[in-house]
């Protein structure tokens, strides 16, 4: 039987970006683990024969210390995507001109560092606005993949705030971190944003569990694995089976900390599942992605978007911040 399509992406959030979002001192010295995680990314993909999409932060692309890692990624078969320049989950609070400058600067930096021009974007912390969609359209992008259709955003944000020492002004900036509960009403299947005057942009959501709308991205599965590895695997396999039954072609998300443990990045040991050693996390992730690869024909996101767009997509008016 022919396998339906799916896509796999990795948001290349760096050590400093997590520190920045949490309000930790020292992030402006740009601490980085890209030289450590890049070989793990490529090794995992080579072992499973995967071609994925990697969303890069523009600030990392202009730092000389990251040049070798990003050149290596650019020389691989993988697609490069835009993950903003400053990795600020409050991107939606900026003016349209500021957003355009942010995305343009990231596009140029990523293109120069990797030799590949991005055609897709994911907002940091799932931050999205009408201004972002308009800027992406003006820049000639094919798709956005920011939306996360789940209701647990406020719960994740509360957990995050509870583990941080943010000032009131910083908390105000992060009020939409991980999205609002109303995100649960967004479609989990791809659609096209109707931007007016005939302009459209494909949206490929981060897939959540059909009907239940619980997350199924790899960070969440590892959170479960820290409690019970068997439960985590059963949950993920059942989610994939449910996607097949519901006719959902999943777009699964991975983060660098899914491949690194608290034993390797001590500054971020407070994150969920960081109690697992890095070697164990990589073993678990390889197993999850092997199940995904068995059930679906995995494509980089650009190819997945083109395939679903060729079949025709429903349009949707943006109900987003300006």
Return the structure tokens found at 141: 């992008």
Whole-angstrom CA distances from 31 to 102, 152, 227, 265 are 21, 30, 30, 10
Q: Show contacts of 43-46: CB within 8 Å, 24+ apart.
A: 44/259, 44/282, 44/285, 44/286, 44/289, 45/76, 45/78
Locate all alpha helices (DSSP H) within the chain, ordered by sequence. 15-22, 34-48, 58-61, 67-75, 96-114, 130-138, 153-162, 168-173, 218-225, 229-246, 278-295, 301-310
Phi, psi of 200, rounded to the nearest 5 degrees: -135, 160
Gyration radius from the chain CA atoms: 18
Domains of the chain: 5-316 (3.20.20.370)
> In 10 A of CB 181, how many CB atoms?
12
Q: Are 166 and 23 in contact (CB under 8 A)?
A: yes
Q: What would the pLDDT profile of 41-90 be if each residue is shown by its tens digit?
A: 999 999 999 999 999 999 999 999 999 999 999 999 999 999 999 999 99
Distance from first CA to last CA of the chain, Å, rounded? 45
Q: What is the dihedral of CA 217, 218, 221, 225, to 10 degrees?
A: -170
Return the structure tokens found at 85: 């320049």
Spatial CB neighbours of 238, under 8 Å, sequence gap ≥ 6? none
Spatial CB neighbours of 118, under 8 Å, sequence gap ≥ 6? 56, 80, 81, 82, 107, 110, 111, 141
320: left (phi over 0), alpha (psi -120 to 50) or beta: beta
Return the structure tokens found at 126: 């799932």
Return the structure tokens found at 189: 């299947």
The pLDDT score that the predictor gives to residue 179 is 67
The pLDDT score that the predictor gives to residue 292 is 98
Q: What would the pLDDT profile of 19-36 be if each residue is shown by its tens digit?
A: 998 888 999 999 999 999
Q: Are 146 and 126 in contact (CB under 8 A)?
A: yes
Does the predicted TM-score (pTM) go above 0.85? yes
Cα–Cα distance between 143 and 302 in angstroms, integer?
8
Q: What is the overall mean pLDDT for the chain?
A: 93
The DSSP symbol for 181 reads G
Q: What would the pLDDT profile of 135-157 be if each residue is shown by its tens digit?
A: 999 999 999 999 999 988 666 66
């Amino acid at each position: 039987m022919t396998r339906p399509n799916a896509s796999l992406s990795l948001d290349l959030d760096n050590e400093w970006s997590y520190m920045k979002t949490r309000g930790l001192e020292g992030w402006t010295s740009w601490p980085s683990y890209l030289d450590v995680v890049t070989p793990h990314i490529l090794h995992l993909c080579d072992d499973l024969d995967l071609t994925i999409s990697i969303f890069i932060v523009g600030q990392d692309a202009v730092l000389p210390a990251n040049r070798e890692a990003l050149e290596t990624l650019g020389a691989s078969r993988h697609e490069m995507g835009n993950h903003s320049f400053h990795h600020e989950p409050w991107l939606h609070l900026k003016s349209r001109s500021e957003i355009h400058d942010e995305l343009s600067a990231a596009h140029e930096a990523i293109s120069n560092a990797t030799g590949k021009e991005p055609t897709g974007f994911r907002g940091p912390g799932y931050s999205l606005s009408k201004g972002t969609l308009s800027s992406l359209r003006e820049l000639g992008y094919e798709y956005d993949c920011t939306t996360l259709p789940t209701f647990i955003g406020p719960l994740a944000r509360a957990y995050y705030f509870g583990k941080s020492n943010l000032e009131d002004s910083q908390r105000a900036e992060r009020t939409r971190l991980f999205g609002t509960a109303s995100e649960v009403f967004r479609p989990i299947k791809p659609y096209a944003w109707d931007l007016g005057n005939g302009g459209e942009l494909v949206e490929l959501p981060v897939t959540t569990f059909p009907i239940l709308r619980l997350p199924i991205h790899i960070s969440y599965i590892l959170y479960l694995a820290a409690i019970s590895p068997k439960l985590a695997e059963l949950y993920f396999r059942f989610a994939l089976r449910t996607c097949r039954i519901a006719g959902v072609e999943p777009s699964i998300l991975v983060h660098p900390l899914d491949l690194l443990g608290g034993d390797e990045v001590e500054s971020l040991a407070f994150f969920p599942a960081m109690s697992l050693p890095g070697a164990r996390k990589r073993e678990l992730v390889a197993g999850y992605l092997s199940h995904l690869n068995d059930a679906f024909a995995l494509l980089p996101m650009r190819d997945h978007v083109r395939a679903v767009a060729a079949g025709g997509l429903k349009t949707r008016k943006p109900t987003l911040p300006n």
